[in-house]
C-alpha cells in the first residue's frame, strides 16, 4: 500500500488556532516565538516565524481548529487527493494565505480537520528568530483504534511506535509518521477528545537550553521535562501559551526508514521520559 512517507511525503507546516483572547495570544507568539503578526481582511491573524506559522481566529472558545501539512509540490498533492477520493474520503476545498491554490481538507471520524496543500513559505522572507520548526501535533481520543485505522488505512500515515498497557494489552499511545521523521502526528487514549500539544523541533540540545532560558526570563515554568522520550528518542520539554495550550520543544527526533517495523513500548513513566517523571494521560 502506498503511504504518505513512500509516495506523498507530508510535513506539518502550520496550525489554525481559535482564541477567546486573540490579542494575548498574538503577544505571546510574537514575544516568545519570534512570530510576526499580520491582521487579515477577514478578521483572522497570520503569524509567521522561522519554519513555523499559525492562523489565529477570534472565537468563543480556545483550541486547535486544524493542522495543515505541506506536500511540497502540486503533483504530490494531486496524487494524494486522488488516493483519498479512491478510498471514499470526503474532501473540502480550502483557501489559505499560507498555501497555494488547490489545498483541501479532510475530517476524521471524530471531526478533527486536517489540511493538505503546498506551502507558500518560499514566497516570503524568512523572519529572524530562534530555531524551532513546527514538527508534530498530538491529540487525546476516546476511540483510539478507530482513529488509527482512519489515519493509517485511509490517509496513509505509518505507525512508528505503539505504547501498550502490559496488563490489559490495550493500545494506549500511537505515533504516526508522514515522512522520514519518527512522527508528525500522535494519539493518546484518554477520557476526552481534545488537542494535547504541538511541538517545535530545534537543531540541537543547546537550542533546548536557549529556549528554556527564554521562558525562564518571562517566568514561564516548564511543566514536563526536560527529558528524553522513548518513542522517537528525542530530547524535550513542555510549557503552555497564553491560552494554556501546550507547546513542546524537541531535539534529535529519530529518523525512521520506510522499511522499519513498528516498535512496541510498555505503558510506564520510563517510556514517556527515560530521565525521570512523566505526564501520564488519563
Dist CA 73 CA 226 (whole Å): 37
Query: Both 77 and 140 in a single domain?
Result: no
In a domain, 259, yes or no: yes
pLDDT at 213 over 70: yes
pLDDT at 121 over 90: no
In a domain, 49, yes or no: yes
Query: Both 203 and 237 in a single domain?
Result: yes
What range does the domain containing 176 cover?
Answer: 133-272
Cell numbers representing residue 176 in the block: 504516526
Query: Both 75 and 33 in a single domain?
Result: yes
Domain boundary among 123, 142, 175: 123
pTM as predicted = 0.96
Cis peptide bond prior to 246, omega within 30° of 0 = no
Query: Both 148 and 213 in a single domain?
Result: yes
Q: Measured between alpha carbons, how far is residue 52 from residues 39, 179, 227, 246, 252 in Å?
A: 17, 18, 23, 16, 18
CA angle 162, 163, 167 (to 5 degrees): 130
Dist CA 149 CA 175 (whole Å): 13
Query: Both 118 and 138 in a single domain?
Result: no
CB 104 within 8 A of CB 115: yes
Q: Which of 104, 232, 252 shows the shortest CA–CA distance to 173?
A: 232
In a domain, 277, yes or no: no
Dist CA 111 CA 150 (whole Å): 12
Number of independent structural domains in the chain: 2
In a domain, 2, yes or no: no
Domain boundary among 74, 91, 123: 123
Confidence of residue 183 (pLDDT cuts 50, 70, 90): very high
pLDDT at 1 over 80: no
Question: What average pLDDT is seen over the chain?
Answer: 95
Residues in the chain: 282
Query: Both 192 and 210 in a single domain?
Result: yes
In a domain, 282, yes or no: no
pLDDT at 172 over 70: yes
Q: 67-113, pLDDT tens digit by residue?
A: 999 999 999 999 999 999 999 999 999 999 999 999 999 999 999 99
Strands across the sheet with 224-228, in order? 224-228, 235-240, 246-251, 194-201, 133-141, 185-189, 171-177, 158-164, 263-266
Dist CA 74 CA 242 (whole Å): 36
Half-sphere exposure of 169 (CA within 13 A, CB side): 0
The CATH number of whichever domain residue 156 belongs to comes to: 3.10.180.10
Query: Both 43 and 141 in a single domain?
Result: no
Cell numbers representing residue 40 in the block: 487579515
Confidence of residue 278 (pLDDT cuts 50, 70, 90): confident
- The mean-pLDDT minimum among 13-17, 122-126, 210-214 falls in 122-126
Domain boundary among 62, 88, 123: 123
Query: Both 37 and 119 in a single domain?
Result: yes
In a domain, 36, yes or no: yes
Query: Both 139 and 252 in a single domain?
Result: yes
Query: Both 160 and 208 in a single domain?
Result: yes
In a domain, 226, yes or no: yes
Query: Both 137 and 268 in a single domain?
Result: yes
Find the helix or strand (DSSP H, E) in which 196 lies. Answer: strand 194-201
In a domain, 3, yes or no: no
Quote the DSSP letter at residue 180.
S
Query: Both 140 and 260 in a single domain?
Result: yes
Q: 214-252, pLDDT tens digit by residue?
A: 999 999 999 999 999 999 999 999 999 999 999 999 999
Amino acid at each position: 500500500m502506498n503511504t504518505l512517507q513512500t509516495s506523498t511525503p507530508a510535513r506539518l507546516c502550520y496550525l489554525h488556532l481559535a482564541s477567546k483572547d486573540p490579542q494575548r495570544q498574538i503577544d505571546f507568539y510574537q514575544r516568545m516565538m519570534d512570530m510576526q503578526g499580520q491582521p487579515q481582511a477577514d478578521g483572522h491573524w497570520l503569524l509567521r516565524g522561522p519554519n513555523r506559522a499559525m492562523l489565529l481566529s477570534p472565537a468563543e472558545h480556545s483550541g486547535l481548529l486544524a493542522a495543515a501539512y505541506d506536500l511540497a509540490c502540486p503533483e504530490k498533492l494531486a496524487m494524494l487527493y486522488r488516493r483519498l477520493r479512491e478510498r471514499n474520503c470526503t474532501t473540502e476545498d480550502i483557501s489559505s494565505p499560507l498555501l497555494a491554490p488547490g489545498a483541501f481538507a479532510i475530517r476524521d471520524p471524530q471531526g478533527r480537520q486536517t489540511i493538505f496543500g503546498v506551502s507558500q513559505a518560499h514566497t516570503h522572507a524568512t523572519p529572524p528568530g530562534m530555531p524551532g520548526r513546527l514538527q508534530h501535533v498530538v491529540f487525546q481520543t476516546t476511540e483510539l483504534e478507530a482513529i488509527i485505522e482512519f489515519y493509517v488505512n485511509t490517509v496513509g500515515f505509518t505507525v512508528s511506535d505503539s505504547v501498550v498497557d502490559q496488563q490489559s494489552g490495550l493500545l494506549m499511545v500511537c505515533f504516526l509518521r508522514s515522512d522520514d521523521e519518527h512522527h508528525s502526528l500522535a494519539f493518546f487514549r484518554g477520557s476526552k477528545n481534545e488537542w494535547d500539544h504541538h511541538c517545535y523541533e530545534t537543531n540541537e540540545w543547546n537550542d533546548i537550553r536557549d529556549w528554556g532560558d527564554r521562558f525562564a526570563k518571562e517566568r514561564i515554568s516548564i511543566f514536563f521535562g526536560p527529558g528524553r522520550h522513548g518513542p522517537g528518542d528525542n530530547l524535550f520539554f513542555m510549557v503552555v501559551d497564553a491560552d494554556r495550550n501546550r507547546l513542546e520543544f524537541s531535539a534529535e527526533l529519530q529518523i525512521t526508514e520506510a522499511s522499519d517495523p513498528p516498535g512496541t513500548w510498555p505503558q510506564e513513566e520510563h517510556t514517556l521520559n527515560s530521565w525521570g517523571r512523566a505526564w501520564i494521560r488519563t
